[in-house]
Structures are given as C-alpha cells and as structure tokens.
Amino acid sequence: MKLAVPESPSLTDGIVEREEQGMIVLSPARGRAIRRVLHVSGYAGRYVWNKIKNGLIPAHQLLGCVELARMGYEVALAEPLPHFDAYRRPLPHDLKLLRFAKTWLGPDDIIFSGHTLLYWLPLLKALGALNRRIVSLTYARERLDFSRNHSGIVTLTPAAADHAEKRHPR
C-alpha cells in the first residue's frame, strides 16, 4: 500500500502576477486589493521574483511582499535601485518611479523602500508635488534623506530604532 503525500502549497497560491507599466505586480487571487504598495529595493524586481518562483532563493528576500499579496494588498516590484549618490549619476535615480507612483498609487497607498534608497521622491513630497505615503527600512544609524517627509520608518535593530526616534520622533 502506497501512502499519498499531501502536496505543499505553491509559493504563488493565492497570488496573481501581471505586468503593469514594466513592473511585476502581485495581486490577491480573490477579491479586490485593499491597498497598493510600490516596493523599492536594491535587489527586487523581475529577476529576483523569477528566482523566488523557481525556488532558487527564499521568498523573504522580498521583505513580506508575497505575504502582503496574500493578505489583500497589490504589490508592484520596482527594478533594483542603487543607493543615491549626488556625485555619481544623481538623475534620474528614484525620479524614474515618479510617473508610476502618481498614476498607479492612490493618496493612501505606500511607497516602501527596502533600505535608505529614496532621495527625489521624499523631496518631491516635501515640496507638495507627491501626495503618497513613504516608508523606509533602516538597519542601523544610517542617513535617511528627507526623513521628516516619511510617513514611517521601519527599523530592524535597537540601534536603528534609537537613531530614528532621536532624529525623527514622529
């Protein structure tokens, strides 16, 4: 007698994938999305998503994007963005995300930076040219440009939490 081994759920169960304006968008398979998130990091995008789907790297590399899609969020995976350097190619940097952010995200939706990568978008928010929530992730006592224009700062270490609280108490 041979026992049947139950199949483990697929990584993409409950998630629909599509392309929109050149970005991969992960959506809940059932129902309407409750909020949209533009996920920006130094290593996300199509290449990483394909490696995750093929089991070559773990899904946690997308910092919860897969789980958010299952929970009812729509998540757009921006192509990798390097750290901002004012002296080496400062343009277009994160400005290339502006059109997508303004057309795809609503005012209550979120631009999430998986590290301290954004420069122009928080500046545009300060100037009133971008009305979107910006949240960045920090690991330690890193510089976060225009941090007062962020709606939130996620910290991963006590040092980062202490730094964020002292410099940006809101």
What confidence category does residue 168 fall into, taking pLDDT thresholds of 50, 70 and 90? confident
Burial 31-40, CB ≥16 within 10 A → b, else e: eebebbbbbb
Q: How far is CA 154 from CA 82, 96, 131, 132, 150, in A?
A: 19, 24, 20, 17, 11
pLDDT at res. 23: 94
pLDDT in tens, 58-67: 998 899 999 9
On the CB side of 117, CA atoms within 13 Å amount to 23
Q: Mean pLDDT in the chain?
A: 89
Q: In order of start, what are the domains of the chain with their CATH numbers? A: 15-167 (3.40.50)
| Mean predicted confidence (pLDDT) in 81-85 | 87
Q: Model confidence at 76, in pLDDT bands (50, 70, 90)?
A: very high
pLDDT one-digit tens code per residue, 17-29? 999 999 999 999 9
Omega within 30 of 0 (cis) for the link into 92: yes
Beta bridge partners of 39: 77, 112
pLDDT band, very low/low/confident/very high, at 8 (cuts 50, 70, 90) = low
Pairing mode of beta strands 23-28, 110-113: unpaired
Identify the pLDDT of residue 157.
Answer: 92
Residue 2 — very low, low, confident or very high, per pLDDT cuts 50/70/90? low
pTM value? 0.89
Tell me the per-residue pLDDT of 119-145, one tens digit each, with 9 for 90 and over: 999 999 999 999 999 999 998 888 888
3-state SS, one letter per residue, for the chain? CCCCCCCCCCCCCCEEEEEECCEEEEEECCCCCCEEEEEECCCCHHHHHHHHHCCCCCHHHHCCHHHHHHCCEEEEECCCCCCCCCCCCCCCHHHHHHHHHHHHCCCCCEEEECCCCCCHHHHHHHCCCCCCEEEEEECCCCCCCCHHHCCEEEECCHHHHHHHHHHCCC
Higher per-residue confidence, 146 vs 49: 49
Phi, psi (5° rounding) for residue 163? -65, -45
